[in-house]
Amino acid sequence: MRAVSASLAVTLSAWAIPSALAQDVSDDEKVATAKVEAVSVGADVSQEARAVPDFDKIRTPSSPAFTLLGVSPTQIERPNTPKQLVIALGTFVSKDDLTIPRNLALEFSPYWIWSHPDLSLADYGGTDWRNIYRNLTISVATATGPQAKTDAAGATVEGSSTDLAIGARTQIIQGNRRRPCAERVDGLARKLLEVANQTSLSLSAEETRRLEEPFVDWDAVAKTVLTDAEKAHLESVRNLVEKGREREQLLEAHRKADPGAFNRARKAAVDNEGLKSVLDARKKQLVVEAKQEIAQLDGLFATCAELEAARGGFLMDIAGASAGRFGEGRVAARDWLSWAAWTNLAYEGEGASGVLMARYRRDKVAGAWLGHLDLGLRGIVARQKYALSLEAIGRARVGDLGADEDRLSYRLALAGEYMVSDGSWLSVTFGKDSGAGQPSSLFTLANLKWGFGSPIVKPAF
Amino acid sequence: MAKTITETKVVNYYVRDEAEVIARATIGEGQEGAWTMRLGDEFLKGGTEPEDVPIGNGKTLAEGDAHLEVSAMVKDIRPETDRLSLLVELKGGKVGSQEKISNEGDPGANASYSLIVRFL
């Protein structure tokens, strides 16, 4: 049977956007920024809102802030320590004031900023509500461009503005347990244990005692095990050689009388740092000697990386982002630009998969909010010799529309393929597209295509 | 071959004489790896997931020469972090204890750790 890794996602989302930021903007600033929007943003957003989107464009984005702003940064800062995060966020501070940095692309997971030494692979790979916050990612993006604005005298002058978007994404239903590489690759668990074993210091009691010997503070041992009378006697001995010999004899007597207590005192008097330096060198040598086994281990993990690692079962993602415009990069000169929310509900099974997706987006155009809700459905059934795919996308537009504009539009597409011979597939696609203002029947817009070649139904979601 | 970080840590653990000492090793940060436990050169247990391992009577351990060695081989498989951690929890002492070895590696790096627990 052909493996199917497509997912079915349904999107049900609600995402609240705080309005405090917009309310803080003065009326004058609102007027000024609204004029700019009409010039630079309005046309693109209006045109985009008229068309039914591609199915892939409404899926929950991995970086919602980048998607909302329409940027594809080539370099993304990904801080993963508190210090790196503080440095990255430091770009929002200029002197003693807040500012909006130019062309910033930042993505981080709050949970992973800090260390989690107690988080085992089984805990993280399982289906656990705590993975909702463990999987949370925050994305921040800015884009700077020219901006025409009105000065105090009413004249139009050239300036610049920076758009800032902040987004968040997480997975709230995680499907089946993710199997570790040790379960998926034959011999990997055994090799891991072998290497852990081979690189163990594995010190016998005798060897331990020998290694510790140079680091024992015998004064400290004597202080612990000798009686007050013995200590007083040693104090009275003036000759240092004689004193050392007598102390040795006393300690030996205590060792014979109570080896356990003596050993305890001796162990407590070992300088652990000194011992560590010796063991570190030995450990490094063991790792060098295990070089070949470690290389084999790397090879097994590489094999694991090539295997399908996606979780099966039900999966649900949610994401949201909002964007604002900042004249001259100043926080005080700000206005809302747009916001959006996404969600997917998917089912991924052996030989069949499906995804339901939803996206709601609102954009502020010429001072007025326009919005659209997109719903998408894709189902795939795949077998060794054939595959079928059904895709449906609908859009509902919200806000004041022109007289010739449709509030609802949709697209349907059905694709099928059959393996005629090894490597050659007969593919058939059939679809209907209901454009704005041009209602038409399924049959008149039917589009039948035939082709031979590689499979066209790509089951991956 | 991916870079391998090595680290050894030596700690003292003050036991209660009458208590049974138990150790539990966790390969942290959601990373993949395996651990082994030895008392001196005697192999006790190994695994990939956390597990309570009985080490022995407190008094016997404190008065003997053998130390507990928890050795781990850790592999960075997480895109979320490159930290490689071994956490060892100890019970049966005057106070509970958690000992950690953690390092930031490169993507795909390995770590070979040994934690030596000296019982007192």
> For residue A310, what pLDDT is reported?
66
Q: Give yes or no for B111 touching A (CB within 8 A).
A: no
Nearest-neighbour CA in chain A from B80: distance (Å): 6
And the tokens for A196?
């852990």
Q: Print pLDDT tens along chain A (461 aa).
A: 343 333 322 222 222 223 332 333 333 333 333 333 333 444 455 666 667 777 778 889 999 999 999 999 989 999 989 999 999 998 888 877 788 888 899 999 999 999 999 999 999 988 888 999 999 999 999 998 887 777 777 777 787 889 999 999 999 998 887 788 998 899 999 999 999 999 999 999 999 999 999 999 999 999 999 999 999 999 898 888 999 999 999 999 999 999 999 999 999 999 999 999 999 999 999 999 999 999 999 999 999 888 766 678 899 999 999 999 988 767 777 888 999 999 999 998 888 899 999 999 999 887 888 899 999 999 999 888 888 999 999 999 887 777 777 788 888 888 888 888 777 778 888 888 775 445 444 433 444 555 566 665 655 54
Q: Which residue among A279, A297, A304 sits closest to B114, beta carbon to beta carbon?
A: A279
Q: Verify whether the Cβ–Cβ distance A182 to B48 is below 8 Å.
A: yes
And the tokens for B67?
């130390």
Chain centre to alpha carbon of residue B42: 15
Of chain B, the percentage scoring pLDDT greater than 90 comes to 95
> How many Cβ atoms from other residues are within 10 Å of residue A124's Cβ?
21
> For residue A454, what pLDDT is reported?
62
Q: Give yes or no for B118 touching A (CB within 8 A).
A: yes
The answer to whether residues A420 and A400 touch, using CB atoms and an 8 Å cutoff, is no
Q: How many CB contacts within 8 angstroms connect chain A with chain B?
A: 183
> For residue A436, what pLDDT is reported?
46
Q: Which of residues 65-84 of A touch B (CB under 8 A)?
A: 80-81
CA gap A415, A407 in Å, rounded: 27
> For residue A178, what pLDDT is reported?
78
Q: Which residue among A259, A275, A294 sits closest to B1, beta carbon to beta carbon?
A: A294
CA gap A182, A185 in Å, rounded: 6
**For residue B25, which residues of chain A lie inside 8 Å, CB to CB?**
none
And the tokens for A90?
């430091």
> For residue A22, what pLDDT is reported?
32
H helices within A59-201, ranges in order?
64-69, 82-89, 110-113, 121-125, 131-134, 181-184, 188-198
Nearest-neighbour CA in chain B from A411: distance (Å): 36
And the tokens for A233?
């006697």
Give the DSSP letter of residue A215. Answer: G
> For residue A331, what pLDDT is reported?
77
The overall average pLDDT reported for chain B is 95
A213, closest residue in chain B (CA to CA): B65
> For residue B107, what pLDDT is reported?
93
Report which of residues B14 and A459 the model is more confident about.
B14
Give the DSSP letter of residue A177. Answer: P
> How many Cβ atoms from other residues are within 10 Å of residue B114's Cβ?
29
Q: Give yes or no for B51 touching A (CB within 8 A).
A: no
Q: Verify whether the Cβ–Cβ distance A115 to B28 is below 8 Å.
A: yes
**For residue B36, which residues of chain A lie inside 8 Å, CB to CB?**
193, 196-197, 200
Which residue of B5, B52, B75, B82 to mutate against A (max A Cβ within 10 Å)? B75
Residue found by looking up tokens 């001796």 in the block? A266
Out of A154-168, A313-327, B3-17, B25-39, which region has the weakest mean confidence (pLDDT)?
A154-168
Q: Verify whether the Cβ–Cβ distance B29 to A204 is below 8 Å.
A: no
The answer to whether residues A378 and A405 touch, using CB atoms and an 8 Å cutoff, is no
Q: Verify whether the Cβ–Cβ distance A280 to B7 is below 8 Å.
A: yes
Nearest-neighbour CA in chain B from A119: distance (Å): 5
* Cα within 13 Å of Cα(A383), Cβ side: 5
> How many Cβ atoms from other residues are within 10 Å of residue A133's Cβ?
11
Q: The whole model's pTM is what?
A: 0.79
